[in-house]
Amino acid sequence: MSVEKVVIIGSGPAGLTAAIYAARANLSPLVFEGYNAGGLVPGGQLMFTTDVENFPGFEHGILGPKLMTAMRAQAERFGTRFIREDVVSVDFSRSPFKIRSDEAAADAHAVIIATGARANWLNLPNEQRLAKTGGGVSACAVCDGALPAFRNQELVVIGGGDSAVEEASYLTKFASVVHVVHRRDQLRASKIMQERFHKLVEHGKIKPVWNSVVTDVIGESSIEAVELKDTNSGAIRRLACKGLFLAIGHTPNTELFKGVLGTDERGYLKLSRPGSTYTSVEGVFAAGDVADHVYRQAVTAAGTGCMAALDAERWLAARGIE
Ligand code: NAP
């Protein structure tokens, strides 16, 4: 088997941007674009979004799947090769590195990991059905919150962390009121975010729903209400809404790299040099949400994908591989 110069694992904005840069640097990258690992599909989280209105260059927004199809075609145009399979194992213990899927295998001098993260869901049947059909259930307020269907409507956010406060305050720009449903009676969010939250509560823009969990999502083609259970009394009630946004954390797709690469306490890949994409193994780089629990935007993922390709290119060149 010939040794690839660079193998990229993942095909969201980070992986495909890395591919575009690596291909243009004549590294002829091979991308394992995934199949359904972690509930994702080739193209990653944006494949589940409708309008992407904050990716620079698209004045009128662009559909998530359209953006990812264009990125893939751009990478392919410069010579990127793709394998539509999930990677099932890696061996980074010695060079060349080994990457395996069920039907394929590759040896590589350098690897870029861009496996992303997946939003956590409650995994209620109606939540999943309406999320997949654009029925007003989303795990990304910044991606979907500005859609016309949510204007001047009552919306629900679930969660009590920084993301929940951030998403809820973003939604107050559009909603008539945002109900924040949290399973405890106090936020986990940072102090500054808590202050922002309480100000919005004072102004009537946010209504907290403490000690409550969502036990069902009601609606046929679009959401009409959530069913709430009071965690103290067990009482069940309905809260009418036109949108539901989950902000109950993300899980990085790093299961493959457990014990192989350094991770932080949340499981995100740790970068060994600040401001770079180097991981704990020389020659293995990380880009996008898999190593970023803070920004988690398509544009930041694309930016770090570019950085990873440049880091890999320079790392390979220093070893005479061009
Ligand atoms: P997080 O801090 O882990 O908070 C998740 C929230 O969801 C918690 O309040 C948790 O409840 C709740 N939750 C988890 N599972 C649940 C379930 N099954 N049902 C109901 N509620 C559930 O996650 P995050 O808010 O996404 O933040 C992640 C990291 O990113 C944090 O370090 C945060 O500081 C950072 N972040 C920063 C900013 C910012 O500074 N602007 C913005 C976003 C994120 P409990 O509280 O009961 O555990």
pLDDT along the chain (322 residues), means of 10: 95 98 98 88 84 90 94 98 97 97 97 95 96 92 89 98 93 97 97 97 98 98 98 98 96 96 96 96 98 93 98 97 90
Among 188, 191, 226, residue to substitute to test ligand 1 (most atoms within 8 Å of Cβ): 188
Q: Say whether 199 sits in a helix, a strand or coil.
A: helix
Residue 7 lies in a domain: yes
Q: Which residues of 45-66 are buried (b: 16+ CB within 10 A; e: fewer)?
A: bbbbbbbbbebeeeeebbebbe
pLDDT recorded at residue 268: 97
Q: Report how far ligand 1's centroid is from the alpha carbon of 165 (Å).
A: 9
- Ligand 1 pocket, Cβ-based, cut-off 6 angstroms: 122, 158-164, 166, 183-184, 188, 190, 213, 247-249, 293-294
Q: Report how far ligand 1's centroid is from the alpha carbon of 248 (Å).
A: 5
Q: How far apart are CA 103 and CA 124, in angstroms?
A: 33
Residues 239, 131 within the same domain:
yes
pLDDT recorded at residue 122: 97
Residues 139, 223 within the same domain:
yes
Q: Which of 102, 128, 309, 319 is nearest to 216 (CA)?
A: 128
pLDDT recorded at residue 56: 97
pLDDT recorded at residue 192: 95
Q: Is 89 exposed, middle or buried (CB count within 10 Å of its CB: 0-12, 13-18, 19+)?
A: exposed
pLDDT recorded at residue 218: 98
Q: Examine the fold and report which residue of 218, 246, 274 is the final residue of a domain before the chain moves on.
A: 246
Residues 109, 137 within the same domain:
no
Please identify, by atom number, the ligand 1 atom nearest to the C-alpha of residue 164.
25
Q: How far apart are CA 207 and CA 183, in angstroms?
A: 14
pLDDT recorded at residue 36: 87
**Residue with CA at minimum distance from ligand 1 atom 7:** 248
Structural domain boundaries, residue 105: 3-118+250-317
**Residue with CA at minimum distance from ligand 1 atom 17:** 248
Q: Report how far ligand 1's centroid is from the alpha carbon of 244 (Å).
A: 16
pLDDT recorded at residue 143: 79
Active-site amino acid positions: 140, 143-144
Q: How far apart are CA 251 and CA 255, in angstroms?
A: 10
Residue 188 lies in a domain: yes
Q: How far apart are CA 208 and CA 158, in angstroms?
A: 10
Q: Report how far ligand 1's centroid is from the alpha carbon of 278 (Å).
A: 27
pLDDT recorded at residue 38: 76
CATH code of residue 173: 3.50.50.60
Residue 322 lies in a domain: no
